[in-house]
Amino acid sequence: MKKEIEEFLNYLRLEKNASPHTVSAYGRDLQQLAFYLKENGYNWRTADTLALRGFLAELHQRHLKKSSMVRKLAAMRSFFAYGLKKNWRQDNPASLLATPRQEQSIPGFLTEEETARLLDWPINSGDPLEVRDKAILELLYAAGLRVSELTSLNLEDIHLKERLIRVRGKGKKERIVPFGRQAEKWLREYLGLRPLLALNKVSELAVFLNYRGERLNARSVQRLVQKRLNQIAMTRKISPHSLRHSFASHLLSRGADLRAIQELLGHRSLATTQKYTHLDLAHLLEVYRQSHPRS
């Protein structure tokens, strides 16, 4: 049963461009399901809706969070859909399972004043790691990036003169996103110091490197955001993704068009919106420059 899981996870990585976090979480979920099925006399080909419902019922008895239940169900649906595609399933037994209703929560975001506190601090401009962290925070907020999008940036994706970056989002969908003068300033300073981190690894194309000269990962970005929050004694629970929510909230509050914000964020929901409106790059740049607090 491990073989099918590994093939599916590779499919998520290579064809669906799923984030490392999603791949890791789905892997754990499916391994847990595989153990349950094996204990109850099933395998991937014989598992039916009743068996999957039993698995979810067992998780419910353990008082698993609804959000985790929803993710596990999504993993099962996607996995068995993959089985259909590969012809080792004739149906998708997870498709008949009802999705648990989740409590709606408001995404965490910062006020403009809090964002300024988070981003503005004195650093040692000769320290490549400090300058890198500063550039990361500025770019996360300036461009509304997902952490996975930021860590996957390559040098060829950065266009400093035009203040544009090419972003590879979910489903390998690419978009062009502008960024402001503050992000440009710190990106230039960081890229000037980047060779000190690269350690002669000329083959490493990643923009943001760790101290070993390798591509920075999402967990490291989480740590640097938390470190900065501790420095300014901010007690609210804020994640790197909160900067993305703040980006959208601040643009909206300053009068930016909602459809333009969706385009900048690369939301899939724009597929419907684009049937009725077409936003070109010039319009997006103008909206950004007029609305972003640090443009």
Q: In terms of CATH architecture, what is 112-291?
A: Orthogonal Bundle (1.10)
Q: Answer for the pair 92, 75: CB distance below 8 angstroms, yes or no.
A: no
- What is the CATH code of the structural domain delimited by 2-96? 1.10.150.130
Convert the pLDDT of each residue in 208-231 to its tens digit.
999 999 999 988 998 888 888 777
Is-catalytic flag, 146?
yes
Residue from 146, 194, 245, 250 carrying the catalytic annotation: 146
User: Domain residue spans in the chain?
Assistant: 2-96, 112-291
Residue from 21, 241, 283, 294 carrying the catalytic annotation: 241
Is-catalytic flag, 141?
no
Residue from 244, 250, 259, 292 carrying the catalytic annotation: 244
Give the pLDDT band of residue 102 (cuts 50, 70, 90): low
> What's the mean pLDDT in 149-168?
94
Residue from 16, 168, 170, 201 carrying the catalytic annotation: 170
CA nearest to 253, candidates 103, 113, 104: 113
Residue from 13, 175, 267, 283 carrying the catalytic annotation: 267
Question: Under 8 Å CB-to-CB from 252, ≥6 apart: which residues?
Answer: 258, 261
pLDDT at residue 34 in the model? 94
The CA radius of gyration of the chain, in Å to the nearest whole number, is 22
Is-catalytic flag, 63?
no
Convert the pLDDT of each residue in 53-90 to its tens digit.
998 888 888 877 878 888 999 999 999 999 999 999 99
SS3 assignment, position 185: helix
Chain-centroid distance of CA 294 in Å reads 22
Is-catalytic flag, 241?
yes
